[in-house]
């Protein structure tokens, strides 16, 4: 009984506390071996998205171990979160020397590390800082958990996903099924705004959103809303613009203190839970995501995908588009192509 109590206490210690308590790492491994669920690392865990996302992940019964990595503040965030009475084991890792330890053995790595927008900026304005951050973190993934599924949240997603892919290719660990750009927030917004116009419960609405994750590259397919509703031309124009501008709406309202964090944490937790349910073997889990793709002539594209035991099992075609959507698709491709190429070129110029 006393041993069991000690075991529980040890599970919540930080690595340095563990050393101070003289706990053997083997003992720790054996205790974790029996726990069901998945091991998830969150990189950028102290940030505006990171903290609420960490809370939501700790509440997910499918997450047995949660590693929180950031360059600052993870000891405090971890201590705080570790007092919530869910069974998930949470551990903090701070600073680049602890990156690798945070990644070893992980099944899913979620990356919201990087700077957010301020009013007047585009997501592409974040490229110079965030490209290098995503590159370094993905090098860590390639080294320490090459089989993990990776969710990229850091902007500009249209470029950071290709960056991650190029890093994995260079390191010889690339598996297109395991690399996913998170665009769930676009779907969450689309469901909310469409439901508002129709006066229905947003939980009953499902809007596919395709393309990419920036401005006009975000294309909601309002002709494919489920259940079938009819929207007027004006409603379609209003909704398309609002969904494309959703991120900017939040950036402006926050007036310099950041971009969407709570809604993003909600969306990322929803997407992580879908991924973990699929990894566990649940059938028929379909979500929109920005993935390596052959549904258009671009190498990456957001569309509906089937998640499964290996990550993305199938990327679905776009389905029938109306004229408005076909025009939107034609317009977005040029911008999306340039953002993808920018990411690929960035890695080509780096020595990894």
Ligand X SMILES: O=C(O)C[C@H](O)C(=O)O
Among 264, 269, 291, 347, binds ligand NAD (CB under 6 A): 264
Q: Does 114 bind ligand NAD (CB under 6 A)?
A: yes
Among 258, 299, 324, 341, binds ligand NAD (CB under 6 A): 258
- Residues from 209 through 248 that contact ligand X (CB under 6 A): 213, 246-247
CB of 264 to ligand X, least distance (A): 6
CB of 127 to ligand X, least distance (A): 12
Q: Kindly list the distances between the CA atom of residue 242 and the CA atoms of 120, 190, 191, 287, in Å, as whole numbers in the listed order.
A: 17, 9, 12, 21
- The tokens describing 56, both together, are 């939501």
CB of 220 to ligand NAD, least distance (A): 14
Decide: 124 and 159 in contact? Cβ < 8 Å: yes
CB of 285 to ligand NAD, least distance (A): 19
Reply yes or no on whether 12 is catalytic.
no
Residue whose CB is less far from ligand NAD, 126 or 288: 126
Among 167, 260, 268, 340, binds ligand X (CB under 6 A): 260
- The tokens describing 20, both together, are 């101070």
CB of 274 to ligand NAD, least distance (A): 15
Measured between alpha carbons, how far is 251 from 259 in angstroms, rounded to an integer? 5
Q: Does 251 bind ligand X (CB under 6 A)?
A: yes
Q: Does 269 bind ligand X (CB under 6 A)?
A: no
18: Cα separation from own chain's centroid:
30
**Residue 334, binding choice from ligand X, ligand NAD, none, Cβ under 5 to 8 Å by partner class:** none
**Residue 212, binding choice from ligand NAD, ligand X, none, Cβ under 5 to 8 Å by partner class:** none
Decide: 234 and 23 in contact? Cβ < 8 Å: no
Q: Which residues are annotated as a binding site?
A: 44-50, 70, 117, 123, 130, 153-155, 189, 264
Measured between alpha carbons, how far is 54 from 77 in angstroms, rounded to an integer? 9
Q: Does 302 bind ligand NAD (CB under 6 A)?
A: no
Q: Could you please report the per-residue DSSP string of 314-335?
A: EE-------HHHHHHHHHHHHH
At residue 263's C-alpha, the angle toward residues 268 and 335, to 5°, is 75
- The tokens describing 339, both together, are 């953002």
Measured between alpha carbons, how far is 260 from 213 in angstroms, rounded to an integer? 13
At residue 33's C-alpha, the angle toward residues 29 and 37, to 5°, is 125
- The tokens describing 151, both together, are 């969710």
Decide: 301 and 295 in contact? Cβ < 8 Å: yes
Which range binds ligand NAD by CB under 6 A, 68-76, 86-94, 292-300, 315-323?
68-76
Q: Does 259 bind ligand NAD (CB under 6 A)?
A: yes
- Dihedral angle of Cα 190, 196, 202, 204, to the nearest 10 degrees: -100
**Residue 44, binding choice from ligand X, ligand NAD, none, Cβ under 5 to 8 Å by partner class:** ligand NAD
Among 13, 28, 37, 48, binds ligand NAD (CB under 6 A): 48
Measured between alpha carbons, how far is 208 from 298 in angstroms, rounded to an integer? 19
Residue whose CB is less far from ligand X, 145 or 185: 185
What is the dihedral sign for C-alpha 331, 337, 343, 349?
negative
Q: What are phi and psi of 105, to 5 degrees?
A: 80, 10
Decide: 105 and 37 in contact? Cβ < 8 Å: no
Decide: 328 and 166 in contact? Cβ < 8 Å: no
CB of 117 to ligand NAD, least distance (A): 6
**Residue 250, binding choice from ligand NAD, ligand X, none, Cβ under 5 to 8 Å by partner class:** ligand X
Residue whose CB is less far from ligand NAD, 7 or 75: 75
Query: Which residues are designated catalytic?
Result: 213
Q: Which residues are near ligand X by CB under 6 A?
A: 116-117, 123, 155, 185, 213, 246-247, 250-251, 259-260
Interaction site with ligand NAD (CB under 6 A): 43-44, 46-50, 70-72, 112-117, 126, 130, 133, 137, 153-155, 157, 182, 185, 213, 258-261, 264
């Amino acid at each position: 009984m006393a041993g069991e109590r000690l075991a529980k206490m040890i599970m919540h210690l930080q690595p340095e506390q563990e050393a101070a308590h003289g706990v053997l790492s083997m003992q720790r491994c054996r205790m974790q071996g029996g726990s069901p669920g998945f091991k998830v690392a969150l990189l950028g865990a102290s940030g505006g998205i990171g903290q609420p996302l960490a809370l939501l992940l700790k509440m997910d019964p499918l997450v047995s171990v949660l590693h929180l990595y950031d360059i600052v503040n993870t000891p405090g965030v971890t201590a705080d979160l570790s007092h919530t009475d869910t069974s998930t084991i949470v551990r903090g890792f701070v600073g680049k020397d602890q990156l690798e330890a945070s990644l070893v053995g992980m099944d899913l790595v979620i990356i919201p590390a990087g700077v957010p927008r301020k009013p007047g900026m585009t997501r592409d304005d974040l490229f110079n800082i965030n490209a290098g951050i995503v590159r370094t973190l993905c090098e860590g993934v390639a080294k320490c958990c090459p089989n993990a599924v990776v969710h990229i949240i850091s902007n500009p997603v249209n470029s950071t996903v290709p960056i991650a892919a190029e890093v994995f290719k260079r390191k010889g660990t690339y598996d297109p099924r395991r690399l996913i750009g998170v665009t769930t927030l676009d779907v969450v917004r689309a469901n909310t705004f469409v439901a508002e116009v129709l006066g229905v419960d947003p939980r009953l609405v499902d809007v596919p959103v395709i393309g990419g994750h920036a401005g006009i590259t975000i294309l909601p397919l309002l002709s494919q809303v489920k259940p079938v509703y009819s929207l007027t031309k004006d409603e379609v124009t209003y909704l398309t613009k609002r969904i494309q501008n959703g991120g900017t709406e939040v950036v402006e309202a926050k007036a310099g203190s950041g971009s969407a964090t709570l809604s993003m944490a909600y969306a990322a937790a929803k997407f992580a839970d879908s991924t973990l349910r699929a990894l566990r073997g649940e059938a028929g889990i379909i979500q929109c995501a920005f993935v390596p793709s052959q549904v258009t002539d671009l190498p990456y594209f957001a569309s509906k995908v089937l998640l499964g035991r290996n990550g993305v099992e199938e990327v679905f075609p776009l389905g029938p588009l109306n004229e408005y959507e076909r025009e939107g698709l034609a317009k977005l491709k040029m911008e999306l192509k340039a953002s993808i190429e920018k990411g690929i070129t960035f890695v080509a110029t780096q020595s990894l």
